[in-house]
Chains A and B, each alone.
Chain A
Amino acid sequence: MLGGLQKLGHWGLGVLERLGRGHLFLFRVLMSLGTAVTRPRLVIKELYSVGVLSLLIIAVSGLFVGMVLGYQGYITLVNFGAEEALGSVVALSLVRELGPVITALLFAGRAGSALSAEIGLMKTTEQLSGMEMMAVDPVKRVILPRFVAAFISLPLLAAIFSAVAVMGGYFIGVGLLGVDGGSYWSQMQANVDFYEDVMNGIIKSLVFGFVVAWIAVFEGYDTVPTSEGVSRSTTRTVVHSALAVLALDFILTGLMFGDI
């Protein structure tokens, strides 16, 4: 009993200590933001590896999610004779929820894990220590460009995801199931509000981008410098990012669309 309590206390203290380290680390990163402005090339290079190289998985996933939404939406709406509303159902589901959330989850799996592994390996092979001894701050040179690139990339990828998914819904709804093309687009135009829906989706993806980028770079920087440590950091990035995104989505949805 006492041993169990001791373990629980030890675990709790460990979690709190890590949270504290994570916040101090974030403070250091944010205090270095000026470097992203004075050395934009570092960010652009990372934008390619973090953002551009994630495009394929995001676009393909978006296409399939849109097609599934088209199918499911049609099956439900046709019972009420409201299949013309398919465009607005697909678009609202995507810009409010699925676009930001699924993109964040895919991004954490594809780019977040890669960031953690890369930074963790740099720590394991003493590259970060080497930089420190060359009087180069690894937070400014390695961490910040990756953090900024991930933060910028996620909202853009979420927008691409939603756009491709809307097209996927169109292919299925209009191309395959015979929904009127004009209705598909006009319903979407009439029912999707830019501020209420699109802006809130953008805010969500900005928040997710910030959190996923923070978790990914922190897990890499805080890794135990062994192969097992890198493996654990990579796993933690995906798990913690997914949990954080889903929990934040619930809170943000309540704040934006509910009466909380």
Chain B
Amino acid sequence: MPGCNCRQRHSTPAWSDTKVLPINTQPHNDNLLEIRDLHFSRGGRPVFRGLNVSIPRGGITAIMGPSGTGKTTLLKLIGGQLRPERGQILVDGIDVHRQGLSDLYQLRRRMGMLFQSGALLTDLSVFENVAFPLREHYALPEPLLRTLVLMKLESVGLRGARDLMPSELSGGMARRVALARAIALDPMMIMYDEPFTGLDPITMGVIVSLIKRLNDALGLTSILVSHDVQEASSIADQLFLISDGVVVDSGTPEALGRTTSEWSRQFLEGLPDGPVPFHYPAPDYLADLTEAR
């Protein structure tokens, strides 16, 4: 229900669609998201090879790994935009990839997503972008819709920018508008795709604090994929490090700070060489140089 900051959904209001949300037939547990034995390949290259992840309700979970490890792909799999070859993804007990299109769309109403680019609709103003999901799903009276949109924009500090067009926004502002839009339907979870990439330190600080504040205030479950160790560690309750298609390490930021895994240490401390080699596999250097002579 728009405007409601509580975690449980109330009875369907008169102005909402009559269609009911998919029923959770699984036993209720503390994990909002469960990924079991996930296998996925792209262009013949395996991206995930038996990935297992459990994400509890209510916290912030960061999924981290080097570029190209399939972090964004994982979010698309969770959102049902891609299909795995094997394995299961359960969101609130609902198997995402066993839903029909209509049920999948119902489930997505409860999942917000912040894209790296913001993905704002370029022909709509800031106000209309945030109003977009509300207009599409609910026949709200215009004054109520206006109030809701202004509340969402106020929560990201951009109420004053309501009349701007996306082309007039900075990268950080566009991401904040996208965040306001992502929470417009009061989802149970939000997925953030590289939310800190390409931002200046001040804007990055704003986004970090917004993710934390919104998660706590709205009782959300936040999943963020990122390779920014400092920022993600500062707000995450739990970290998963993925590489080569599997989880290589997981735990609280404090626990991972004490990890003995060489790979994890290299990633978390940003070491240029280690288990992930500096050099791309190549033939012998000297032989390569002298080959043409």
Do A and B interact?
Answer: yes
Beta-carbon contact of B81 and A135 below 8 Å: no
Beta-carbon contact of B122 and A135 below 8 Å: no
Q: Judge if B136 is at the interface, Cβ distance under 8 Å.
A: yes
Residue in A126, A127, A130, A136 whose beta carbon sits within 8 Å of that of B136 in the complex: A136
> Which among A129, A134, A136 has the highest number of chain B CB atoms within 10 Å?
A134
Residue in B79, B113, B117, B181 whose beta carbon sits within 8 Å of that of A125 in the complex: B117
Beta-carbon contact of A133 and B106 below 8 Å: no
Beta-carbon contact of B108 and A132 below 8 Å: yes
Q: Judge if B159 is at the interface, Cβ distance under 8 Å.
A: no
Residue in B76, B105, B116 whose beta carbon sits within 8 Å of that of A135 in the complex: B105
Residue in A127, A130, A133 whose beta carbon sits within 8 Å of that of B111 in the complex: A133
Beta-carbon contact of B119 and A135 below 8 Å: no
Residue of A nearest to B136 (CB): A136
**Given A125-B122, A141-B136: A133 and B108 within 8 A (CB)?**
yes
Q: Judge if A196 is at the interface, Cβ distance under 8 Å.
A: no
How far, in whole Å, are A168 and B185 apart by their CA atoms in the complex? Answer: 56
How far, in whole Å, are A137 and B79 apart by their CA atoms in the complex? Answer: 14
> Which among A127, A133, A136, A141 has the highest number of chain B CB atoms within 10 Å?
A133
Beta-carbon contact of A136 and B133 below 8 Å: yes
Q: How many A residues face the partner with a CB closer than 8 A?
A: 12
Beta-carbon contact of B133 and A134 below 8 Å: yes
Beta-carbon contact of B121 and A127 below 8 Å: yes
**Given A127-B119, A129-B81: A135 and B113 within 8 A (CB)?**
no
Q: Judge if B263 is at the interface, Cβ distance under 8 Å.
A: no
Beta-carbon contact of B117 and A126 below 8 Å: yes
Q: 0/1 per residue, A163-178, Cβ < 8 Å to B?
A: 0000000000000000
Beta-carbon contact of A133 and B132 below 8 Å: no
Beta-carbon contact of B181 and A134 below 8 Å: yes
Q: How many CB-defined contacts (below 8 Å) exist between A and B?
A: 53
Beta-carbon contact of B115 and A126 below 8 Å: yes
**Given A125-B122, A129-B81, A141-B136: A135 and B117 within 8 A (CB)?**
no
Q: Judge if B109 is at the interface, Cβ distance under 8 Å.
A: yes
Q: Which residues of B contact A126 (CB under 8 A)?
A: 115-117, 119
How far, in whole Å, are A136 and B135 apart by their CA atoms in the complex? Answer: 11
Q: Judge if B7 is at the interface, Cβ distance under 8 Å.
A: no
Q: Which residues of B contact A129 (CB under 8 A)?
A: 76, 81, 115, 119
| Chief secondary structure at chain B's binding surface | mixed
Beta-carbon contact of A135 and B115 below 8 Å: no
Q: Which residues of A contact B79 (CB under 8 A)?
A: 132-133
CB distance from A125 to the nearest CB of B (A): 6
Residue of A nearest to B105 (CB): A135
Q: Which residues of A contact B108 (CB under 8 A)?
A: 132-135
- 8 A Cβ contacts from B98-149 to A: 101, 105-106, 108-109, 111-113, 115-117, 119-122, 132-133, 136-137
Q: 0/1 per residue, A98-140, Cβ < 8 Å to B?
A: 0000000000000000000000000001110110111111000
How far, in whole Å, are A130 and B81 apart by their CA atoms in the complex? Answer: 11
Beta-carbon contact of A135 and B121 below 8 Å: no
Residue of B nearest to A45 (CB): B123
How far, in whole Å, are A129 and B82 apart by their CA atoms in the complex? Answer: 11
Residue of A nearest to B129 (CB): A130
Q: Which residues of B contact A132 (CB under 8 A)?
A: 79, 81, 108
Q: Which residues of B contact A134 (CB under 8 A)?
A: 108-109, 132-133, 136, 181, 185
CB distance from A27 to the nearest CB of B (A): 13
> Which among B136, B181, B185 has the highest number of chain A CB atoms within 10 Å?
B136
Q: 0/1 per residue, A152-190, Cβ < 8 Å to B?
A: 000000000000000000000000000000000000000
How far, in whole Å, are A141 and B79 apart by their CA atoms in the complex? Answer: 19
Q: Which residues of B contact A136 (CB under 8 A)?
A: 132-133, 136-137
Beta-carbon contact of B115 and A130 below 8 Å: yes
Q: 0/1 per residue, B172-204, Cβ < 8 Å to A?
A: 000000100100010000000000000000000
How far, in whole Å, are A190 and B292 apart by their CA atoms in the complex? Answer: 83
Q: Which residues of B contact A135 (CB under 8 A)?
A: 105-106, 108-109, 133, 136-137, 185
Residues of B within 8 A of A (CB): 76, 79, 81, 101, 105-106, 108-109, 111-113, 115-117, 119-122, 132-133, 136-137, 178, 181, 185
8 nearest interchain CB pairs? Answer: A130-B119, A126-B119, A135-B108, A133-B113, A135-B105, A134-B133, A135-B109, A136-B136
Given contact pairs A129-B119, A134-B108, A136-B133, a sample of 9 additional A-B residue pairs in the complex whose CB atoms are under 8 Å apart:
A127-B119, A129-B76, A130-B115, A130-B121, A133-B113, A134-B132, A134-B136, A135-B106, A137-B105
In the complex, 5 of the A-B residue pairs with CB atoms within 8 angstroms, ordered by the A residue number, are: A126-B116, A127-B121, A129-B76, A135-B185, A136-B133
